[in-house]
Amino acid sequence: MSRTALTLATAGSHDAHRSRELTSMARRFAGAIVLVMAWSPSPATAQAAPSEPISPPRLFAHDGGIVLNFIKPDKTADFEFVIERVKEAFSKSARPERAQQAAGWKVFRSPDPAGGNVLYVFLIDPAVPGSDYQISNLIAETFTPAEANDILKKYAESYAQGMNIVNLTLASDLGK
C-alpha cells in the first residue's frame, strides 16, 4: 500500500472513531437535556420569585409608547378585570418605579369598532426608563401563583388577536 493510501486509510479509521465518539457525546447531551426538561416545572406551573420575571420584559426605550389591544367583544369585562388587577399590583408594590409607571400609564377604550373587536389603547407617557411593562410580570410579582394563573388566563383569552406596540420619541410638546 502506498504511503498516501495508508495515511488516508488511517485518517478514515480515525475519523470514523471520532465520529462515533461525537455521536455518543451528542446522545448523552440530548439525554441530559431531556432529563433536565422533565424535572423542570412548566411555565404554567412555575412559581417565579418576585424579582424573577415569568415573561421577557417589555421595555419602552424612548419617551413613551402606545399599545393597541384588540379584545373580543364578549371578553371586555375579563380584560377590564385584568387592568384592575394591574392597578392593584401597582398600588401594592414596594418598588418606587411602579408608582412612576402607574402615574404615566393610561388605558383608553375606543367607542369605535375595530374590525368586530373592541380596541383598548395603553398610553405610556412618560415611559420609566428600564422599567418592565409586561403585564404578566406585574401580576406575578404581586399575586399568588394560583391567583396569577387565573388572572393571566383571563388576560390571554380576552385577546382577539395580538397587540401592536409602538415606541415613541417626543417630536414636539405643543403646550410648552
Q: What is the secondary structure of 107-157 as a DSSP string?
A: EEE-SS-BTTBEEEEEEESS--TT----HHHHHHTTS-HHHHHHHHHHHHH
- Enumerate the domain spans of the chain: 1-42, 64-168
pLDDT at residue 77 in the model: 98
**Average pLDDT score over the chain:** 79
> Per residue in 116-165, pLDDT tens?
999 999 999 999 999 999 999 999 999 999 999 999 999 999 999 889 99
Residue 48 and residue 67: Cα distance in Å, rounded?
Answer: 25
Residue 122 and residue 87: Cα distance in Å, rounded?
Answer: 13
pLDDT at residue 55 in the model: 87
pTM score, two decimals? Answer: 0.69
For helices 96-104 and 76-92, give the axis angle rounded to 10 degrees.
Answer: 140
pLDDT at residue 7 in the model: 39
Residue 78: CB partners within 8 Å, gap ≥ 6?
Answer: 154, 155, 157, 158
pLDDT at residue 162 in the model: 85
Residue 35 and residue 72: Cα distance in Å, rounded?
Answer: 40
pLDDT at residue 3 in the model: 44
> Per residue in 13-46, pLDDT tens?
444 443 444 333 333 333 333 322 322 233 333 3
* CATH code reported for the domain at 64-168: 3.30.70
Exposure string over 53-70, b if 16+ CB within 10 A, otherwise e: bbeeebbbeebbbbbbbb
